[in-house]
Chain A
Amino acid sequence: MRSRSIRLSITIILILGIAIAALGFKDINIDIPGFPTVERNGTGPLGLKLGLDLRGGGHLVYQADTGTKFDVTFGGDVSFGNVAATLQSLTFGEDNSALENLRVLPIGPNRFQIRTDILAESDPRRTGLNEALAEAHGNISLFRADTIGEPSVDQMQGVLDNITRRVNKFGTEEPIIQIFGDDRLIVQLPGASGSITEVTLADPILAGIPAPVADGAEDQDAGATEPETPAAPSPEIKSPDELAALLPALLTEAGYEDFDIDIEDALHFTIRSNTVDSATQSRAAIAITQQIGTLFSFGVNSGIDAAKALIGQTARLEFKERTCDSAACTTFTDTDLGLSGDDLTRAEASTNSVGIGWVINLQFNGRGSDIFSDLTRRISTAESQATKRIAIIMDDQLLLAPVARAWIRDGRTQISGNFTREEAQTRAIQLESGRLPVPLKLIQESDVDALLGEESLKNSLIAGLVGLGLVFVFMIIYYRMAGVVAAFALMFYAVIVLAIFKMIPITLELAHIGGFILSIGMAVDANILIFERMKEEVRIGRTLASSMEVGFGRAWPAIRDSNISTMITCVVLLWFGDRLGGGLVTGVAISLFIGVSVSMFTAVVVSRNLLQLTAWIGLGRRINLFTPEALQRSAPNTVQTPATRGGR
């Protein structure tokens, strides 16, 4: 009995140690070869991930990308610059109208996508473009025009639904997505606000600052703290200190806020800042080129980049047969198969059959299965595997190009590769979520503060601690030594729950906090149940040790059944929330489930073990330390039966 208890104590201490370590290290990155890397580095206290309502995040505004789109393929290769120049100079009709809001995107050596404002069917700019381009750059083999008009209410709702689905699939985080006006969409995503800008210079700092250093002088009113000395346009290499003095003014001018500059060496520096939009980024890049030196690279990462990339994607998905000219497949020709995203019924990421590494599972509908079967029959032969690929192309960009290893007859297939979990999931979402009814463009991006306000959050936290303190006081007054045990058990409980929240990781929202508070109530309840039963047993004259055992046994069915019922509620909520899409419902269910499970473990293992320990270290003889009124009520008894007190 005792050795079992000691082993149990060691286990408890180990669990507690692991939990404290999990909370203590802010960043936890576990990298076991062959397994997906685990990264736990939330921005909240203790490295917890906090949701939109508690912490804030990114605020994105998208607008329906309306306009007319031309898809032009020339007979021969044409340079992008020439086409762009031609388009800019073209005028049409009697009033010589030009193409408004022109954007040109090269898709292939002879293929371009041209976007303009909406052009009516009869607009001379639309009817005349084919001829005008052919005149300038030779014959056109394919010319297609499409107009994306103002979205209808239904279409915007479709966009909202689709994007909600995409974001929800990406993680357990709860976004806020709202239709804004007629053609815009607000998306707020939790966590990871701010951008990291990584700058690499072409030359070590900062050989040959050219004359325009004078530009730096203009920037000074923008809040430079150090008086820069532009009077010395020394072409010599600058010291990091001088760079550190120059950069803040430059960045402030460009529109950076709350930044932190880390100069790594003569070539690299990193800027942590608020979330900066593309206009700010290009201003900063230009300013750095002008005032500091030629850029080798300028990269910006936002925490919400991954999600952002998914949201805006129109996702026109096509499957093509790719014939490579060489084994490396650097040059190739793609053949249309008539197989598109509409034929795909399901795409999901899963671990492979061995359980390590990630794959993407695809399933086609009947029509898709036939085409896919025909395709794989032709290209899965040993000799064609060397040259044939299946090109999966999204919005004219190659997503994946797997080799067919077998003839897939039933339309179910699996794409493997060295995918990380995140890659596989992202690809699967891209494949499955289909196209948006209306293409979107990002028109605004910024950080957003917590919905609840920081002050409010801090007050609530303090209040929660005060409440918990009061509970401890109440328990200790009412149950004496047992109350002390309960207080320890509750602290243990809170640490374990938080550690689990961090390790899963769960993006904490108010919903989780609510579940957590009430599960504290249930954790206390389990302890109270045991102590009340214990008291009863003491009252009828048992020794403390046997009271503990019997009291515990009596309390157990109630603890077990009541908590199982709560777990059933949680599982049902989780199932519904997952199927019918209610992040709110899922959040409550997860936190309540974790809370109840840990509370059961705490009461059954920790409280019980601690009680037994207190009994064994001699405190158990002083029964009044546990139940003060028991002593009063059974005072005559204790005299008559010394065995009760000293029986152990």
Chain B
Amino acid sequence: MLDIVGKRGWYFLISALVIIPGLISMIASPGWISGGSGLKAGIDFTSGSVMNVSFANPDIDEEDIQARMSELGHDEALIQRIGGNTFFIRTVVLKEAIGDDISEREKIERGLDEFLGLERDRVEFDTVSPIVAEETVKTAFYALIAASVFIMFFVWYAFRRVPKAHRYGVSAILALVHDLLIILGIFSILGRVINLEVNSMFIVGLLIVAGYSVNDTIVVFDRIRENVSRHPDRELAPMVNLSIMESMGRSLNTSITTLVVLLAMLFIGGTSIRELLLVLAIGAVSGTYSSIFIASQYLVMWDRGEVGRFFRRGPAATASSLLHLIGIGR
């Protein structure tokens, strides 16, 4: 049987390799101190500009304009037809004319006119407030914290027949926080690298992943619960290893099937829900990973007192205990 538990240090290292750069990317963002998120906020969350434009050609549709707006450097544009050949375009706040540069509004009008034949005398232009109020984001955040507390107590209760049941609750929440940090980190980095913005669908995705993550963790924990109750005299580590191996087939199959649906939609589906699907796909992988390699391993570390030792020691000893965990320092 594979010794999964023995290499537990590695898993935390692998996660740290994703999470730490992500955290740095978030904290290093200029707005962090003033309460900014470190993520690149899409136009759902920021004030923006709105243009009401009409075209002479009735065949022009949203996709034509979307394509043209992308060429003009406005990928983020949200375009809606509001009757006839009039369209309502939301963008980020457009820059005023600076020096010799024409204003962005002028640039867009010219750009649309050149290829699509804009009726320029009918253009209306103004600024708009954010679509999603800050309140909604706060609501989601508080709701997640409250949900975590409730889940911790529920898991504690559900595992009351095994010794130290509260550890299962804490570990499940740890895995949840892990998954959310992975997603936040990856999106923060992608925001820097490929300008990926987060919109309201990102919040939706995070909430769904939160539901999925704990769900998956509990399935793995259930095996541990079963094996530990059957062999109360054995040590926890081999029991966890056995449980993981026994439930490996199920874990892989479930995440593969979920991923198949998500990836199919990601690759052949429409562009507009890609962000949501990306969050869900990362969440599905991370959720499965964290159940096996974070939540379960954390149980073992806690059981062996490694967690406390890790934090109580000085820097040098911490490094050596880290190496020890990875299996090099033995």
In the bound complex, what is the Cα–Cα distance between A160 and B262 (angstroms)? 37
Tell whether, in the assembled complex, residue A569 and residue B135 are in contact, meaning their CB atoms are under 8 Å apart.
no
Question: Which one of A455, A468, A514 lies within 8 Å of B280 (CB-CB)?
Answer: A514
Query: Is the beta-carbon distance between B147 and A573 smaller than 8 angstroms?
Result: yes
A180 and B215 contacting across the interface, CB-CB below 8 Å: no
B136 A582 Cβ-Cβ under 8 A: yes
Q: How many residues of A contact B (CB 8 A)?
A: 84
Q: Mark B60-83, 1 if CB is under 8 A from A, else 0.
A: 001100100000000000101111
- Whether B314 sits at the interface, judged by CB under 8 Å, is no
CB distance from B215 to the nearest CB of A (A): 4
User: Is A584 part of the contact surface with B, judged by Cβ < 8 Å?
Assistant: yes
**Among the interface residues B142, B261, B269, which one has the most CB atoms of the partner chain A within 10 A?**
B261
Binding site secondary structure of chain A: helix
Residues of B279-294 contacting chain A, CB below 8 A: 280, 284
Contact A470 B215 (CB under 8 A): no
Contact mask A421-463 → B, CB, 8 Å, 1/0? 0000000000000000000000000111111110111111011
Other-chain residue from A463, A520, A564, A584 in contact with B268 (beta carbon distance below 8 A): A463
Q: Tell me which residues across on chain A come within 8 A of B268, comparing CB atoms.
A: 459, 462-463, 466
| CB atoms of A582 and B126 under 8 A apart | no
Query: Is the Cβ of A568 less than 8 Å from the Cβ of B147?
Result: yes
Q: Is B182 an interface residue (CB 8 A)?
A: no
Residues of chain B within 8 A (CB-CB) of A582 are 135-136, 139-140, 143
For residue B103, CB closer than 8 A to chain A, the reply is: no
Most buried by B among A446, A459, A564, A572: A572
Contact, CB under 8 Å: B207 / A585: yes
Per the bound structure, the CA–CA distance linking A160 and B132 in Å amounts to 12
CB-CB contacts below 8 Å: A548-572 with B: 554, 557-558, 561-566, 568-570, 572
Contact size class for B?
35 or more
A577 and B128 within 8 A (CB): no
The one of A457, A529, A573, A575 that contacts B207, using a Cβ cutoff of 8 Å: A573
Chain B residues with Cβ below 8 Å from A529 are 219, 250
- B269 near A459: Cβ-Cβ < 8 Å: yes
CA of A510 to CA of B311, assembled, Å: 43
Which residues of B in the span 112-142 have a Cβ within 8 Å of any Cβ on A? 126-133, 135-136, 138-140, 142
Residue picked from A186, A448, A450, A565, most chain B C-beta under 10 Å = A565
A59 near B88: Cβ-Cβ < 8 Å: yes
Whole-angstrom CA separation of A528 from B247 in the bound complex: 11
* Interface majority SS (helix, strand, loop, mixed), chain B: helix
Assess whether B147 is in contact with A467, with CB atoms less than 8 Å apart. no
Q: From B81, B215, B246, B284, give the contact of A566 (CB < 8 A).
A: B215
Complex alpha-carbon distance, A577 and B87, angstroms:
32
List A contacts of B266 (CB < 8 A).
463
Give complex CA distance A510, B63 in Å. 19
CA of A274 to CA of B133, assembled, Å: 30
| B270 interface hit (Cβ, 8 Å) | yes
Which residues on A sit within 8 Å (CB–CB) of B218?
558, 561-562, 565
Contact: A514 with B204, CB < 8 Å?
Answer: yes
Residues of B within 8 A of A570 (CB): 211
Per a CB cutoff under 8 Å, which of B140, B142, B258 touches A518? B258
Separation of A258 and B140 alpha carbons in the complex (Å)? 41
Q: Once the chains are docked, how many angstroms separate the CA of A194 from the CA of B40?
A: 37
A404 at the interface (CB under 8 A from B): no
Flag the segment in B9-17, B148-156, B186-194 that touches A: B148-156
Residue in chain B with minimal CB distance to A184? B126
Does B260 count as interface, using CB distance less than 8 angstroms? yes
A585 & B250 in contact (Cβ 8 Å cutoff): no
Complex contact A510–B147 (CB within 8 A):
no
Indicate whether A47 reaches chain B with its CB closer than 8 angstroms: no
From A56, A464, A511, A528, give the contact of B261 (CB < 8 A): A464
Does A201 count as interface, using CB distance less than 8 angstroms? no
Does A393 count as interface, using CB distance less than 8 angstroms? Answer: no
Question: Using Cβ atoms and an 8 Å threshold, which residues of chain B touch A59?
Answer: 80, 82-83, 88
CB <8 Å contact, B150 and A179 = no
Q: B222 on the interface (CB 8 Å rule)?
A: yes
Please tell me if A50 contacts chain B, counting CB pairs below 8 Å. no
Using A452-B270, A584-B140 as known contacts, say yes or no to A463 and B264 having CB atoms under 8 A apart.
Answer: yes
Q: Which residues of A contact B143 (CB under 8 A)?
A: 572-573, 575-577, 582, 585
Q: Complex Cα distance A181/B51, Å? A: 11
A459 to B139, CA, bound (A): 32
Task: Give B122 Cβ to nearest chain A Cβ, in Å.
Answer: 13
Q: Once bound together, how far apart are the Cα atoms of A166 and B64, in whole Å?
A: 36
Indicate whether B241 reaches chain A with its CB closer than 8 angstroms: no
Are A584 and B132 also in contact (CB < 8 A) when A524-B254, A528-B254 are? yes
Residue numbers in B under 8 Å from A568 (CB-CB) = 147, 150-151, 154
Q: Is the beta-carbon distance between A561 and B81 smaller than 8 angstroms?
A: no
Q: Are A569 and B147 in contact (CB under 8 A)?
A: yes
Contact B260 A562 (CB under 8 A): no
Interchain nearest-CB distance for A637 vs B (Å): 21
Chain B residues, Cβ within 8 Å of A573: 140, 143, 147, 207
A181 to B223, CA, bound (A): 59
Residues from chain B with a CB closer than 8 A to the CB of A558 are: 218-219, 222-223
**With a CB–CB cut-off of 8 A, which chain B residues contact A514?**
201, 204-205, 208, 273, 276, 280
Q: Looking at A180, A460, A583, which has the most chain B CB atoms within 10 Å of its CB?
A: A460
B272 at the interface (CB under 8 A from A): yes
- Is A448 within 8 A of B128, CB to CB? no
The verdict on B226 contacting chain A, using a C-beta distance below 8 Å, is yes
A63 to B138, CA, bound (A): 29
Contact of B253 with A by CB under 8 A:
yes
Q: Are A585 and B80 in contact (CB under 8 A)?
A: no
Judging by beta carbons under 8 Å apart, are A176 and B131 in contact? yes
Interface string of A182-201 (1 = CB under 8 A from B): 00101010000000000000
Q: Which of A133-141, A359-367, A471-479 contacts B (4 or more CB under 8 A)?
A: A471-479
The answer to whether residues A525 and B135 also contact, given A459-B268, A460-B269 and a CB cut-off of 8 A, is: no
How far apart are B242's CB and chain A's nearest CB, in angstroms?
13
Alpha-carbon gap, A326 to B80, bound state (A): 56
A selection of 20 A-B contacts at a CB cut-off of 8 Å is A181-B127, A449-B81, A451-B80, A453-B63, A462-B269, A463-B264, A464-B265, A515-B204, A558-B222, A561-B222, A566-B211, A568-B150, A569-B207, A572-B147, A577-B139, A581-B135, A582-B136, A584-B140, A584-B204, A588-B208
Binding site for A on B (CB under 8 A): 50, 62-63, 66, 78, 80-84, 86, 88, 126-133, 135-136, 138-140, 142-143, 146-147, 150-151, 154-155, 158, 172, 200-201, 203-205, 207-212, 214-219, 222-223, 225-226, 246-247, 249-250, 253-254, 256-258, 260-273, 276, 280, 284
Q: Report, nearest first, the 10 A-B pairs whose CB atoms are least far apart.
A: A456-B270, A467-B264, A521-B258, A467-B261, A558-B222, A576-B143, A463-B269, A181-B126, A446-B83, A460-B269
A residues sitting closer than 8 Å to B (CB atoms) are 56, 59, 160, 164, 176, 178-181, 184, 186, 188, 257, 274-275, 446-453, 455-460, 462-464, 466-468, 470-471, 474-475, 478, 510-511, 513-515, 517-518, 520-522, 524-525, 528-529, 532, 536, 554, 557-558, 561-566, 568-570, 572-573, 575-577, 580-585, 587-589, 592, 596
